[in-house]
Chains A and B, each alone.
Chain A
């Protein structure tokens, strides 16, 4: 029942590419971009758009191991290109930024993930390790100087190569001749060895980025725009996911609420600025924001309105004011949050819901924000194409009514989805109209 299931059967089932050479890619590119922009602007596009997003389905589909998908950048480009030409999505989330980290993870000895060959099997997805990476007593250090804290305290805990960074001076505290004096730290042999290793890791990441960049360029030439170009967290998740861990953060809601609130204030501009800087010269302005610890059940509505939403909203507003479009993935069920999260400017964002009922979401959020989703994982993995088709039709005709809708799986194409079901989903946007 794992992802390896029936891999053999699926090998070489890729049908011939569907694109006809008579179509002008540039025209198709513009049409697709327009369709997506129309949906986001809550206008009714010529048809409902669909964005290609997956973690590892391309591997399951083409018989490549998950491990290879994380290590072989070129092969990932090649199989994704074949899939994109077959499915003809209106935009794509570039797979490299979700996959191609194997070599660099190894080079830095990364400890926050397990990945194929490093704690999980060849055909399993990489896995995040939920631990406490920052002690509650350290909120003050973070608040006083986030960069110093991250460089010299946090990094040494999460990657072998970073260990000697603990010796770096607090640069914000020194100036003039003391600043010059402080470069002595760089004479440390361990630190020098770390920098040499980091240089190797940097080169590897550069190679990956070049490959991803070439892929994006080729896709553009073939007529496919990007559906997202940067990833940013909610301030609460920034601390929950990678610093305090799930248990730590939940206890902080009682024991250290003021520190948590203050620390979140510190990261809001950091998150916003990094998105703005990265996307300054890029054509795609969509910022992917997956939400993790604010969903129903993980905190009370009152806690959501104190610790999650106000800070997230400020990040979103910072992005929107800079002309960027937040694409917020509300994981799990967020039904009890709908009224609260309706408080954003009209037609400036996309809300992607995993398990929240989209028809209900449309009632509350229709006319405010473009919705995306949400063909269930179970249906794509175990259902029949007819059932998928019926589900898509229903979504397109109801949630798509009047515009402001993008079709997708609940969290994109699940790793173990049946190919015929994925095809049925992609066909449905051509078959049905709102």
Chain B
């Protein structure tokens, strides 16, 4: 690892946003490989994720890390487009969203963040996602895993309806479904017909590892 990339990793991981963005710009302007820039981000996010797990970082740090990642990705994207369209290697696709009627997305965003850090391509459908939208995306992208998030008790029914909707569209057996959110437990899993539930973002990652053969 060069000194420049070590400095960038440290700036991101230590939440020094201005410095991180300036270093990333410098790195790219000096002809640095854009894919390496993304790799640097991933390493930094690894550190951030670990500090979160260890109780050193909290939601605000995850939020800022996500912002830094988005800004650096935006710098890198135009440069990547010029290169040969070789897909950045992904561990698999996960479609995720907060079910209809529910607007909570902080927990889901952490799951998205940790999945991305772990190398998955995540398609985030956002909040209050109607059943039809989940069905459409699963049918279009054929992801191996679908994640449903929800924090309200009414989300139990929305999750159930979403899973029934997939079954009605003949898609239920094509995808593994995990659910999660504040009050979700085994009883809710059974009620909704999901394949598994996860109590935190790391559980979401392990489920994907288990379900998506590398």
Contacts and interface: CB of A to CB of B under 8 A. Distances in A.
Contacts of B157: 1-2
B64 A250 contact: yes
Contact of A1 (B15, B63, B67, B156): B156
Interface of B: 15, 17, 57-61, 63-64, 67, 101, 103, 106, 153-154, 156-157, 183, 191
B60 A254 contact: yes
A299 B58 contact: yes
A118 interface: no
11 contacts: A2-B153, A2-B157, A120-B101, A124-B154, A251-B64, A254-B17, A254-B60, A298-B58, A299-B60, A300-B57, A378-B183
Nearest to B58: A300
Nearest to B153: A1
Ranked nearest first, the 5 interchain pairs of A and B with the lowest CB-CB distance are A250-B60, A250-B63, A253-B60, A1-B156, A300-B58
A130 B156 CA distance: 21
B166 to A, nearest CB: 20
Nearest to A382: B187
Nearest to B63: A250
A251 B58 contact: no
A390 interface: no
B58 A303 contact: yes
B59 A251 contact: no
Contacts, number: 47
A251 B63 contact: yes
B153 A251 contact: no
B139 to A, nearest CB: 28
The prevalent SS among residues of B at the interface is helix
A129 B67 CA distance: 21
Contacts of B57: 300
A416 interface: yes
B17 A255 contact: yes
Nearest to B66: A247
Interface in A214-252: 246-247, 250-251
Given A124-B154, A299-B59, A303-B58, A129 B64 contact: no
A218 B67 CA distance: 54
Q: Which of the listed residues B60, B61, B154 has the most CB atoms from chain A within 10 Å of its own CB?
A: B60
A127 B102 CA distance: 9
Given A1-B153, A1-B157, A2-B157, A297 B15 contact: no
Interface in A93-152: 120, 124, 127, 129-130
Given A246-B106, A254-B17, A254-B64, A1 B191 contact: yes
Interface of A: 1-3, 120, 124, 127, 129-130, 246-247, 250-251, 253-255, 297-300, 303, 378, 416
Q: Which of the listed residues B57, B106, B183 has the most CB atoms from chain A within 10 Å of its own CB?
A: B106
B61 to A, nearest CB: 8
B127 to A, nearest CB: 9
Contacts of A124: 101, 154
B46 to A, nearest CB: 20
A255 B101 CA distance: 32
A396 to B, nearest CB: 27
A108 B103 CA distance: 23
B191 A251 contact: no
Given A250-B64, A255-B17, 13 more contacts: A1-B191, A2-B153, A247-B63, A251-B63, A251-B64, A254-B15, A297-B58, A298-B58, A298-B59, A298-B60, A300-B57, A300-B61, A303-B58
Given A1-B153, A416-B153, A127 B103 contact: yes
Contact of B59 (A1, A250, A378): A250
Contacts of A299: 58-60
Contacts of A2: 153-154, 157
Contacts of B191: 1
Contact of B60 (A3, A120, A303, A416): A303
B52 to A, nearest CB: 10
B101 to A, nearest CB: 7
A95 to B, nearest CB: 21
A329 to B, nearest CB: 18
A161 B35 CA distance: 51
Q: Which of the listed residues B15, B17, B154, B191 has the most CB atoms from chain A within 10 Å of its own CB?
A: B154
A144 B186 CA distance: 52
Contacts of A303: 58, 60
Contacts of B15: 254
B20 to A, nearest CB: 11
Contacts of B58: 297-300, 303
B199 to A, nearest CB: 14
B14 to A, nearest CB: 11
A58 B203 CA distance: 38
Contacts of B17: 254-255
Contact of A251 (B67, B101, B103, B183): B67
